A and B are shown apart, each in its own frame.
Chain A
Amino acid sequence: MTTVRARRQDNAGYLFLLPWFAGILFTVGPFLASLYLAFTDYDLLTAPRWAGLDNFRAMLHDDKLHQSLQVTIVYTVISVPLSLAVALGVAMLLDRGVRGLAIYRSIYYLPSLLGGSVAIVMLWRYIFGYQGIVNHFLAWFGIQGPGWNSDPRFALSTLILLHVWTFGAPMVIFLAGLRQIPAMYYEAAAMDGASPWRQFRSITVPLLSPIIFFNLIQSLIASFQTFTQGYVISNGTGGPAESTLFYNLYLYQKGFAEFDMGYASSMAWLLLIIIAGFTAINFLAARYWVFYDN
């Protein structure tokens, strides 16, 4: 009796998972295929030809690849901590029983829904253009700003600012986390004469650390895969002077403009390894600062 029912449940379970099983063909299948393609020479028209480590050897001497790696890592290493710091700071300002919390939260959160859209990146091009509003604003102080997007020294920083502009999503997560820290911890600390900074260091950060860590990992992985921002701000070139040539933009150029799909696959795996490396380092470092209550 029970075995019959168990088998029935088995079948039902597999039936419910049928679409998901089929979906594996579009996720796990390509995942394995890309590992294979990484070791081939493949242009989509003729069959893939085994090339051993050729792609990876070529990557060693590919200056554009190194540039794109640098752009992506600089962007990630600056914009991720910066936007998380802003998100945490604003969340703490909002947490202390602010009147109008819902309105502030909406205003800060909305940009994070729009930040990845073509419209906003195009807008950024003009805000930071030579005639853009940023330079108009600077002109009030007698400063003539450059065309921020057309100057290789500054182009990436405008995109970092765009990333910071979308701090709302982690902020909402921080707000939910701050809500769960019991007020009595702060009361007790204040009674013992702990300064606000000390309270922040000894109560807020440790109790919020799992959430900070979660946000950090998420943003890190997403940031390494930035594409639209670089593509739209430079109209697909990664310019000026390859200063916005994000890794995935270069991968796109290699794979889908030059149809060097073997090389693009090995690039994808290099990035995967780098992302895994950064994540692993963070997991190791987490032992020293992430605090789990239970």
Chain B
Amino acid sequence: MTTDTATTDTAPADPATRPVTASPGSRRPSPRRRFLRHVLLCAVGVVMMYPLLWMISSSLKPSNTVFTDESLWPSTWDLGNYARGWTSLAEPFSLYLVNSLVIVTLSILGNLLSCSLAAYAFARLRFRGRTVFFALMLGTMMLPGHVLVVPQYVLFDRLGWLNTYYPLLVPHFLATNGFYIFLMVQFMRSLPDELDDAARIDGCGPFRTFWKIIMPLCLPAFATTAIFTFIAVWNEFFGPLLYLTDPDLYTVPLALRQFMDSEGQSQWGEMFAMSFVSLAPVIGFFIAGQKYLVKGIATTGLR
């Protein structure tokens, strides 16, 4: 799938003509139709962005004008929402941010390590049972997570892991997410076999080959994995809801939810301010890692 795109992308000499020839619109639409298309696309864009813009705008308004001041540009500004929101929950918001950051960082590390090890075995080593294990791995990819929830909870309870980060972290270190393995397998298979042969002739064992030759070449696949893990873990709600009861351990989504319990006090401005703070890292990662994201979902269908 990717190789096809690559060849059509590089075929024409002049890059400016590429989008036209590569797409069905070789009968170029008339200027009027092109203009109408842009109007339509912009309208869709406005609808898509409006909720986010409204959130940001509301985070800058005094709480009592959030629902009366219709303009996106606040008529009165209240930057204090951010300061007050930061301290209005049981713990300062920075604690929740740090908690989330710790979990996200370790999850990324765990996924990269464990999934790349498994992927290397599947992609480049021969051993008995490989096809069976690979099929099993694909099978676990399809397994809907909800079936595992109850026994996993029981297991973590038995291990004494409730109200700790272990249930959220340990699975990431054990390559339980087949999607990332699959992504890396696909990537590693695209590397030439001669690399391993040359390394072996030079006296490298599988571990040195993996660490010195394959790992550095897999950086794009690692970047994709890291970004997807970041976004998935940062947003994750169900796991923390299930396993974390002590407010000191809360992640950002759990903390945000508390705003709904104190709804009566109508601290909307503060709520939207912290909501925006919670989304900002995702938006930042999106802007920084767009290339890998788009590539990643186009090749594996990850969301």
Contact = CB atoms under 8 A, between A and B. Distances in A.
B259 interface: yes
A190 B27 contact: yes
Nearest to A218: B301
A68 to B, nearest CB: 13
Contacts of A172: 294, 297-298
Nearest to B141: A27
Contact of A169 (B151, B176, B297): B297
Nearest to B137: A20
A266 B67 CA distance: 44
A20 B301 contact: no
A78 to B, nearest CB: 19
Interface in B133-179: 133, 136-137, 140, 142-155, 157, 170-171, 173-176
A255 to B, nearest CB: 5
A124 B272 CA distance: 12
Interface string B62-90: 00001100100000000000000000000
Nearest to B256: A118
A119 B45 CA distance: 20
B150 A34 contact: yes
B140 A222 contact: no
A261 B48 contact: no
A126 B263 CA distance: 11
Contact of B67 (A19, A30, A132): A132
B216 interface: no
Interface stretch (B101-109, B218-226, B274-282): B274-282
Given A31-B147, A117-B253, A221-B144, A123 B301 contact: no
A107 B48 contact: yes
B290 to A, nearest CB: 6
A131 interface: yes
B275 A119 contact: yes
Interface stretch (A58-66, A91-99, A281-289): A91-99
A228 B151 CA distance: 20
Interface residues of A, number: 106
B151 A20 contact: no
Contact of B282 (A20, A117, A127, A275): A117
A205 B150 CA distance: 41
A126 B23 contact: no
B22 interface: yes
Interface string A97-110: 11111001111111
Contact of A181 (B24, B44, B154, B254): B24
Q: Is the interface of A mostly helix, strand, loop or mixed?
A: helix
B147 A20 contact: no
A1 interface: no
Contacts of B4: 180
Contacts of B254: 118
A252 B22 CA distance: 48
B195 interface: no
Interface of B: 1, 4-5, 8, 19-29, 37-38, 40-41, 44-45, 48-52, 54-55, 58, 66-67, 70, 113-114, 117-118, 120-121, 125-128, 130, 133, 136-137, 140, 142-155, 157, 170-171, 173-176, 181, 205-207, 210, 231, 235, 237-238, 241-242, 253-254, 256-257, 259-261, 268, 271-272, 275-276, 278-279, 282-283, 286, 290, 293-294, 297-298, 301, 303
**Top 6 nearest A-B pairs by Cβ distance?**
A13-B127, A96-B25, A23-B174, A30-B151, A16-B121, A33-B151
Interface of A: 6, 9-14, 16-20, 22-31, 33-34, 37, 44, 90, 93-101, 104-114, 116-120, 122-127, 129, 131-133, 136, 165, 169, 172-173, 175-176, 178-181, 183, 185-187, 190, 199, 203-204, 214-215, 218, 221-222, 224-225, 227-228, 231-232, 235, 248, 251-252, 255-256, 261, 264-265, 268-269, 271-272, 275
Given A34-B151, A119-B276, A187-B27, 6 more contacts: A6-B126, A27-B143, A96-B29, A110-B48, A225-B145, A271-B144
